[in-house]
Amino acid sequence: MSKLYIVPTPIGNLEDMTFRAIRVLKEADLILAEDTRTSGKLLKHFEISTHMHSHHMHNEHKTVENLISRLKAGETIALISDAGTPAISDPGFLLTRACVENNIEVDCLPGATAFVPALVNSGLPNDKFVFEGFLPEKKGRQTRYLALAEENRTMIFYVSPHKLVKTLAEFVQYFGAERPVSISRELSKLHEETIRGTADEVLKHFEAKPPKGEIVAVVGGKILVKEKRKDDDE
């Protein structure tokens, strides 16, 4: 029976691969990988010999139609990204949407994703939160910040290491120097660390110590100040 499996892969520690993920990848007719060289190492480690095709942001618009045809013909396809859960700031949304539109079953396995441990590690409120992923590079970046400045839920961002200092300076500018921030780096890897403090404190830390590796930034929401009622003054 045809089905698209969305298969999370470890974000750094191979021990986080699930038994089910290994089985699904071994049994699939085809594996779609964001980078076949990166994923090739993972598949080799777990002795998975399933045929692999490249599926990334530069070609997914062109390949969806052909993949839907293969699924309709009865094939089972597994989608993986370089790390974590596909379609979360990674390729996968277009193919998933096309499957839904064509009544093809989609099964997303639970598994590794970077923002959940970063959120929990932060110590910031996690009962309500908003996931922003990567902010726009230029166009729309300021507009997004102005909207988020009023957000009262905890916010989660993915940040490239070479843009972290710039992004933290923007946090100070738009959210205020005292806004609580938590930066998780290299999650699940040997040099994993989480730096917590005010936006200004965390900015100064990374100005002195340039960051490396994959980064998740968690920012506290705007604290709503209750207006005093006139009755309280009487």
pLDDT in tens, 24-46: 999 999 999 988 999 999 999 99
At residue 157, what are phi and psi to the nearest 5 degrees? -130, 145
pTM: 0.90
pLDDT score at 59: 78
Q: 93, 108, 123 — which closes off a domain? A: 108
Pair 171, 212 in one domain:
yes
**Does residue 233 belong to any structural domain of this protein?**
no
d(CA 170, CA 112): 29
* Residue 76, in any domain of the structure: yes
Same domain? For 126 and 189 the reply is yes
218 neighbors 119 (Cβ within 8 angstroms): yes
Half-sphere exposure of 182 (CA within 13 A, CB side): 22
d(CA 83, CA 88): 10
80 and 146 part of one domain: no
Domain boundary among 76, 108, 140: 108
Considering the chain, what is the average pLDDT of its residues?
93
Evaluate whether residue 228 is within a structural domain: no
Count of the separate structural domains present in the chain: 2
Q: Please give the residue range of the domain that contains residue 167.
A: 115-219
- Domain assignment present for 94: yes
The three-state secondary structure class of 37 is helix
Strand partners, 217: 157, 183
Confidence of residue 97 (pLDDT cuts 50, 70, 90): very high
- Split at pLDDT 50, 70, 90, the class of 228 is low
The answer on pLDDT for 194 being more than 80 is yes
Same structural domain, 88 and 136:
no
CA 3 vs. chain centroid, Å, equals: 24
Say if 234 falls within a structural domain.
no
In a domain, 231, yes or no: no
What is the β-pairing status of strands 215-219 and 154-159?
A: antiparallel
Instruction: Give the DSSP letter of residue 210.
Output: -
Q: Tokens standing for 116?
A: 């959940």
Question: The CATH number of the domain where 148 resides is what?
Answer: 3.30.950.10
119 and 100 in a single domain? The answer is no
Per the document, the length of the chain is 234
Q: Which of 74, 108, 142 is the last residue of a domain?
A: 108
Domain co-membership, 127 together with 195: yes
Which pLDDT value is given to residue 233? 53
Q: What is the per-residue pLDDT across 116-168, written as a single tens digit (0 to 9) for each?
A: 999 999 999 999 999 999 999 888 999 999 999 999 999 999 999 999 999 99
Please count the other Cβ atoms lying within 10 Å of the Cβ belonging to residue 138. Answer: 6
Instruction: Looking at the structure, tell me whether residues 88 and 130 fall in a common domain.
Output: no
